[in-house]
Each structure stands twice: as structure tokens, then as C-alpha cells.
Amino acid sequence: MNNITSALYEAVPFYIAVIPFTILNLYIIKKKRELLNVEYRITEKIFTLGFILSLMFILSITIGNNPPLKFQNVTWQNISVRPFEGVYMQYVLGVNGNIYSIINLFGNILIFAPWGFFLAAYYKENKNEKFKILLIAFLTSFSIETIQLFSGRSADITDIILNTIGVLLGRFVFCYLNIIFNEFFNNMHIRYPNNNNNKVKVFTVVQVISCLIFLVASQS
């Protein structure tokens, strides 16, 4: 439990950096909608905030307390390409009362579930929704594992699999709630239509640059 507390404490600078990043992106999204003359309901604002914070939550736990990235930190010994290697040992430790092993085992799934939920809300009107969510889940987890490798930590294919399962779990929850509250979700649109408005494109570029600066600054 002390390891978890320590990780959360060390990620405090990351949490602080998230605040201006989130405010900037919410402002940019608001301006893009205004330029496209797209209504922005309070429920859509809440889901947009949830979309951003669910990803920030993942990053804070996985890379928010990493040391600076260095190429010399990368070693083949830190790369595990055998699916579910070590999972049984974590299970055994968990059964014997090691709480950290239990949290680590199921945490890789649970921390990605909110991200999957909001991804499903974002892509709910897209015909390739399932494929895009699965692809984003894999790329997000793969990128995190790669960053961890450069920070001296291990990169494990099992984590990628469990993270992807977590995203799919979040999507399942959204789909289930969408059946129950279909009128609520069907009237909510997080995505806005594509447009050739040059001002919108400028805002998008600023948004991408802000994301890159945030990731680089958080790992330096």
C-alpha cells in the first residue's frame, strides 16, 4: 500500500500540470464548436471533461511519476513478450494477502475502463466505432509501455492486453447504459462534424502542439 501512496504522491507535479492543460483544451473545444455553430450542451461539456480526465488519470498512474527518459535505460531484460507471464504469481501473492499484487493485477484493467467508456461515447455515431476504439486502446497502452521502457521500467505485453480489456470493459458499460438510457445518450454529441474552416484547423494544430508539449514536459 505504501508503494501506491508513494506513486500517487510523486505524481503531484503531473496533477498540477494537468489543470492548465485541461482548461486550455476545454477552451479550444468550445471555440471550435462556436466557429462551427454547433450547440454545446452541459452534458456534452461534462462528457468532454470526462474524456480528457479519464486519459489524464491513466497517464498520472502509469507515467506521471517517471524519472526523465533516457535511451540508456532501455534493456532487453525489461521487455516481456510472453502474454500473461507472471500473472499467476501475482494471483498467488494476492491470495496470500498481498494487496498490492491484487491491485496491480486488476488495476491494469480498471484504470482503462473509464477511458473506454468515454471513447465509446465519443465514437458512438461512427460506423467503424469498434475498430477505432480497439485501435486507440492498443496504441495508448503501447505508447505508455514504450515510455515506461525509456524511464527504466519494464514493458510488458500482458499490460497491453489487460489495458485493452479494460477499454473494452468500459465500452461494454457504455453500450449497456446506452440501451437503458438511449434517449439521453442519443441526444448527446461529443464529436462535431468535419469542416474545412481554417480557424478550426488552427485551433486543432494548437491542440495537438499543447498535447505534445504536455507529454514532453511531464517526462523531462
Give domain status of residue 212, yes or no.
no
Backbone φ, ψ for residue 155 (5° rounding): -120, 120
Does residue 32 fall inside a structural domain? yes
Domain membership of residue 169 (yes or no) is yes
- When pLDDT is averaged across residues 170-189 and rounded to a whole number, the result is 88
| Domain annotation covers residue 206 | no
How many whole angstroms separate alpha carbon 191 and alpha carbon 122? 6
The answer to whether the beta carbons of residues 219 and 147 sit under 8 Å apart is yes
Residue 212 pLDDT class (50, 70, 90 cuts)? confident
Residue with cell 465509446: 120
Nearest to 156 by CA among 93, 217, 86, 90: 86
Instruction: Take residue 117 and report the three cell numbers written for it.
Output: 467508456
In a domain, 58, yes or no: yes
pLDDT at 82: 75
How many C-beta atoms surround the C-beta of residue 185 within 10 A? Answer: 19
- Banded pLDDT at 2 (limits 50, 70, 90): very low
Residues 153-167 have a mean pLDDT of 86
Mean pLDDT, to the nearest integer, of 199-210? Answer: 88
User: Which pLDDT score is estimated for 68?
Assistant: 65
Q: Is 216 among the domain residues?
A: no
Instruction: Tell me: pLDDT of 1 over 50.
Output: no
- How far, rounded to the nearest angstrom, does the alpha carbon of residue 67 sit from its chain's CA centroid? 20
DSSP 82: S
Contacts of 66-69 spanning 24+ positions with Cβ under 8 A: 66/147, 66/148, 66/151, 66/153, 66/219, 67/151, 67/152, 68/151, 68/219, 68/220, 69/147, 69/150, 69/151, 69/219, 69/220
Instruction: Label residue 57 by pLDDT band (50, 70, 90).
Output: confident
Query: Which pLDDT score, from 0 to 100, does residue 116 have?
Result: 94
Is residue 17 domain-resident?
Answer: yes
Cell of 182: 438511449
Structural domains of the chain, count: 1
Is 220 within a domain?
Answer: no
Q: Where are the beta strands (DSSP E) in 19-178?
A: 79-80, 155-156
Identify any residues that bridge with 80 across adjacent strands, giving them in sequence order. 156
- On the question of pLDDT at 33 being above 50, the answer is yes
Residue 102 is part of which domain span? 2-192
Is pLDDT larger for residue 213 or for residue 80?
213
Of 97-101, 107-111, 112-116, the one with minimum mean pLDDT is 97-101
- HSE, CB side, 13 Å, CA atoms: give it for residue 117: 21
The set of cell numbers assigned to 131 is 475498430
User: Which pLDDT score is estimated for 5?
Assistant: 58
How high is the pLDDT of residue 106?
80
